[in-house]
Each structure stands twice: as structure tokens, then as C-alpha cells.
Amino acid sequence: MQSRGSSHRVSSMGNNRSRIPALLISMFAAFASIYVAGRLWLDAENRVYLIKELDRITGQGQSAISVDDTLKIIACREQHKKLDALETELAGARQEGFVSNPLIETNGTYSTRRPLVVIGILTKFGRQKNRDAIRKAWMGSGASLKKIEEGKGIIVRFVIGRSENRGDSQDKDIDHENRLTNDFLILDNHVETNDAFPKKVKLFFAHAADKWDAEFYAKVNDDVYVNIDALGATLATHLDKPRVYMGCMKSGEVFSELNHKWYEPEWWKFGDKKSYFRHASGEMYVISRALAKFISINRSILRTYAHDDVSAGSWFIGLDVKHVDEAKFCCSSWSTGFPLSMSVLHVHAC
């Protein structure tokens, strides 16, 4: 009797153990079925959504197009969007100086969608007499200055920085003069010192390019008298060149003597130590729009030397720039050879 009971219990335990794996397998199969069904349902929903979206976009009815083809069409549309964005960027690049706008001459005036030239007259503290003489001689003031801007597309401003003692009488005098004349471009982030003139020129080109979208930008000293009409006519002949550096080109001597007026502290960088590379004389020179934008973008890394004309010339070495040696920008253009009406400038310092 005892042996029969024992065998019955053993048989019952064996049956229970055999049921447990079967139950686990059944549960796993059920979960797997639910997962697969869910994935199939989700894929089906995605297919329906994609087909509906395609029908909505194309305006067509029910389509037998495959999901793969649908995804390719959507990807193609994304590529079209990217191409549209690139075309927009290209149009913006064209507006950044790579395509010049035509300039029309009518009875001595110049009409263009952007100003022809921004002239920056680099001046200093204590030079109001020079500025007043320039206003009377060729720049004009008030309504006459506005007329030059609107009629000829020529913007003229005196360019000056701030005093080392910010807010002192020198700054106040300039602010007062500007309130009366409204013809200054004040470089608030530049301090006026004798050795900072090349940096001042760099900042002028950068700020002028940021403020005015002109064809050309000209740097002029405050002892230079400019023939506006001759300048406008000369610049008009170079509008087809995207990157122009124009002036009275020279290769001056490099002076390594400490006490010399034109001493160059970094004379050793200039090859044979005898002459600079080709650059425009500092009384007046002109750069085109693309070069002014280049200076604006790279102002923080462009090197300046002891003299502004050498510094400007160094910025364009290595660039695809057209150097224009314009005799009308030279001192000799008014002293010998050229009629006064054709000469662009007259310089006291010549």
C-alpha cells in the first residue's frame, strides 16, 4: 500500500513538472503573436498614412504605389527643398559683390540701385578748419551734401574715433560739430592715437561696408580736395570688375632707421628690406564692394603695419584682385599733364 501511494505521488509530481514548460511556451507564443500583430498593424498604419499623404500632396486618388516608392518621392521633395535653399543662398552671394549692377549716366548724374561710392575722409581732433575748408570746397553740407548723395550716389563722411579719455572735451567738440553738420562716421570702438591710423582705416572700411551697400569705398586724407565728377566718371568705368583696388600705385622704400619719419618697425618682413610690395599711395585709394566686405568679415585677423597704405595693400595679396594704377589719383595728375577737370584729386601734401 505504501509503495503504491509513493508511486502515485511521484507520477503526480512528474505531470505537474511537464505542465510548467508547456505553460511558459504557451505564454511566450501568445506574447510573440501580440508583438508581431502590433508591428504589422503599425506598419499597415504607416503605409496608409504615407499613401494618404501622397494622395493629398499630388491630388490623385487611390494609388497602388509601394511604400518604397512613396519614401523615394518624399525624399526627392526634400532634395528640391534643399535646392531651393541653395538657390536662395546663391542669390544672396550675387548680392554680396560678385555681380555688379549697371550704372546709368544722365546729364552728369549717376543713378544706380546702390550708392556709387562711400568716401571716408580720415580726420583728427583739432582739424575743424580742414573740415570746414573741405565742406566749402567740394563736399558740401546740409542740402548740398544730400543732393550729392541722391543725385550722384556719392556718400561723404568725416571719419574719427574717440579720445583716450572717453567723454572729454575733444569728444564733446566732435559730438557738437556732428549735431550741427551730421556728416561724421564716428568709430566708437576706436581710440585716436598717432600709431593707430592703419587700424582706423581698417575699421572705416568695415563699418562703411556694414552701414552702406555701395559699389565702391574710398579712403581720403583730410588735406585732399576731390573732384566729385571726375571721380564718379572714373569709377563708372570699373563697375564690371568685381574686385578692384584702385589708386596711384607705388613700391616705396622700406625704412629700418628708428628715427626716420616713415620708419617701419617690421621692416625685416619685406624681403630684400629695400622696397614694399605694390600698393596704392595713401592720399586716396578706392576698393570695390567685395573687398570692403572681405575686410569687414576678417577685420579681427587682418594685420596692420606702420602705414595705412601698406597695410591696405597687404590685405589683398593672395586674393584675386585687379590692381588699377590710376594716374588721375596721383599728385602729378593736377601738377603736370592732366587738365583740372580730369584730375580726381588735389593734395596739399604733394
Is position 346 within any domain?
A: no
Is position 260 within any domain?
A: yes
Is position 33 within any domain?
A: no
HSE at residue 245, side-chain half, CA atoms within 13 A, is 26
Spatial CA neighbour of 333 closest among 243, 181, 230: 230
CATH number of residue 145's parent domain: 3.90.550
Is position 39 within any domain?
A: no
Is position 340 within any domain?
A: no
The pLDDT assigned to 251 comes to 79
pLDDT in tens, 126-146: 999 999 999 999 999 999 999
The pLDDT assigned to 320 comes to 93
Residue 264 backbone zone (phi > 0: left; psi -120 to 50: alpha; other: beta) = beta
Contact 215, 239 (CB under 8 A): yes
In the chain, the number of structural domains is 1
Residue numbers of the domain that contains 245: 117-329
| Positions of the chain with pLDDT under 50 | 1-10, 12, 61, 97-107, 111-112, 336-341
Is position 47 within any domain?
A: no
The pLDDT assigned to 76 comes to 73
The pLDDT assigned to 78 comes to 73
Q: Whole-prediction pTM value?
A: 0.65
Enter the DSSP assignment of 269: G
Angle, in degrees to the nearest 10, between helices 2-58 and 67-93: 50
Q: Give the cell for residue 146.
A: 544730400
- For the residues of 321-348, what is the DSSP string, one character each? -EEEE-GGGSTHHHHSSS-TTT--EEET
The pLDDT assigned to 217 comes to 98
Is position 229 within any domain?
A: yes
CA 15, CA 344: separation in Å to the nearest integer?
114
Is position 88 within any domain?
A: no
